[in-house]
Amino acid sequence: MEYLIIIISAIFVSNIVLAQYLGICPFLGVSGKVSTSVGMSGAVLFVMTIATIVTWLIQTYILEPFGITFLQTISFILVIASLVQMVEIILKKISPPLYQALGIFLPLITTNCAVLGVALLTVSRNYNLMEGVVFAVASAFGFGLAMLLFAGIREHLDLMDVPKGMRGVPIALVTAGILALAFMGFIGLV
- Chain segment 9-20, per-residue pLDDT in tens: 999 999 999 999
Higher-confidence residue of 187 and 149: namely: 149
Contact partners, residue 103, CB within 8 Å, separation at least 6? 39
Query: pLDDT at residue 183 above 80?
Result: yes
Q: How far apart are CA 130 and CA 125, in angstroms?
A: 13
Q: What is the pLDDT of residue 3?
A: 94
Look up the domain containing 148 and give its range. Answer: 2-189
Q: What is the mean pLDDT of residues 163-167?
A: 88
Around Cβ 185, how many Cβ atoms within 10 Å? 10
Average pLDDT score over the chain: 88
pLDDT confidence bin for 1, thresholds 50/70/90: confident
Q: What is the mean pLDDT of residues 98-102?
A: 72
pLDDT confidence bin for 102, thresholds 50/70/90: low
Structure pTM? 0.88
Q: What is the pLDDT of residue 32?
A: 80
Contact partners, residue 118, CB within 8 Å, separation at least 6? 16, 22, 48, 51, 52, 135, 136, 139, 140
Looking at the structure of the chain, the number of domains it has is 1
Q: What is the pLDDT of residue 70?
A: 94
How many whole angstroms from its chain centre is CA 123? 16
pLDDT confidence bin for 68, thresholds 50/70/90: very high
